Amino acid sequence: MAISDAESLVMEVLWEKNPATSDDVVAELSKTTDWQEPTIKTLLNRLLKKRAIAAERDGRRYLYRPLLKRADYIDAASTTLLDRLFGGRVAPLVAHFSDRRKLTKKDIAELKRLIEELDHGR
């Protein structure tokens, strides 16, 4: 399922506040974006059509909840990024970030720990 960057911001709100009304989503996104209510409702409707979220009537309003799990979204998005930019390989991704941004000692220690865990798990 293809989720746009704008739609992913709406999803983040719904993953955090579940269920949420459109007013809840508007209030939350107004803290970080300059989007107006109609824009946010359009994004909610797009996500409904994609079946990334569901809506349930609650009196005169709707409660929205995510159907797409955050972990599944992250897995698909990261795989797409790796495939598109790095031929599906993680090492060139890490090399890119190490060349462009200085990795902290903490980052390097965490990468070493992950590699060690992978080595011991195989």
What are the sequence ranges of the domains in the chain? 5-66, 89-122
CATH of domain 5-66: 1.10.10.10
In terms of Cβ atoms closer than 10 Å to its own Cβ (0-12, 13-18, 19+), residue 116 is exposed
- What is the mean pLDDT of the segment spanning 12-40? 97
Q: Is 80 helix (H, G, I), strand (E, B) or coil?
A: helix
Question: What's the CA angle centered on 30, arms 50 and 53, to 5 degrees?
Answer: 20
- What is the mean pLDDT of the segment spanning 1-27? 96
- What is the mean pLDDT of the segment spanning 6-11? 98
Per-residue confidence (pLDDT) for residue 98, from 0 to 100: 84
Token pair of 45, please? Answer: 């409707």
Q: Give 34-83 pLDDT, tens digit per residue.
A: 999 999 999 999 999 999 999 999 999 999 999 999 999 999 999 999 99
Q: Is 60 helix (H, G, I), strand (E, B) or coil?
A: coil
Residue 13 has pLDDT above 80, yes or no: yes
State the pTM of this model: 0.81
Q: Give 77-120 pLDDT, tens digit per residue.
A: 999 999 999 999 999 988 888 888 778 889 889 999 999 999 88
Per-residue confidence (pLDDT) for residue 8, from 0 to 100: 97
Token pair of 12, please? Answer: 């983040």
Per-residue confidence (pLDDT) for residue 83, from 0 to 100: 95
Per-residue confidence (pLDDT) for residue 32, from 0 to 100: 96
- Rounded CA separation 54/33 (Å): 23
Distance (Å) of CA 28 to CA 23, 78, 102: 9, 25, 33
The helix (run of H) or strand (run of E) holding residue 62 is strand 61-66
Confidence of residue 122 (pLDDT cuts 50, 70, 90): low
